[in-house]
A and B are shown apart, each in its own frame.
Chain A
């Protein structure tokens, strides 16, 4: 496995509470991504980062924020968790080379349940 660690792996939280998920990489890859996976929807991009302090929104960014203060860490924050944010969250990384023809490497996922 590529050096990607997601924490926590499982979390149950209450509606309205803030939640932060962490993604840590040891590959020194430029790009980092947060996806969520829900039945019937495949993976949908929440936010991505193209460098330290450089982030942008994905397809389903409402209710989420991110930060990247170091190359190796990408944090996803749910400001006020809602039941619709119950999902499995995946972090991914990819390199900046070959004019974008590079694969992504995925973490093992974080299963978040909002009750």
Chain B
């Protein structure tokens, strides 16, 4: 079963708007990570937030983490057509050997010019 579940499964917005997607998970985590995947390509790491952090920023990305609710959100501000991609959350569970990540099902984002 998947550790992370993402919501919504798909999102369509206009260029310049903000995009928000959410991730829920089930177990205690060391960190939560977000990845982007362009069609037909490998995943690219976007941001990592540790379990003792509540918010993190990187450029136009803002990630929040609420460990009491076992949830995270990714906000992309002022979206661009180039942000069209699938976005995945991934969790590294406490006590998990080998830095293993468990991925959610992803959110497909379409940014219309």
Contact = CB atoms under 8 A, between A and B. Distances in A.
B60 interface: no
Nearest to B92: A100
Interface residues on A, range: 20 to 34
A41 B92 contact: no
Q: Which of A56, A104, A105, A109 has the largest number of chain B CB atoms within 10 A?
A: A104
Interface stretch (B11-19, B61-69, B75-83, B100-108): B100-108
Contact of B103 (A42, A50, A94): A42
A6 to B, nearest CB: 9
A19 interface: no
A41 B2 contact: yes
A48 B48 contact: no
A101 B45 contact: no
Q: Which of A43, A101, A106 has the largest number of chain B CB atoms within 10 A?
A: A43
A40 B106 CA distance: 8
Interface of B: 2, 4, 30-31, 33, 35, 40-45, 48, 50, 88, 90, 92, 96-106
Given A1-B42, A40-B105, A50-B98, 4 more contacts: A42-B4, A59-B102, A90-B42, A107-B42
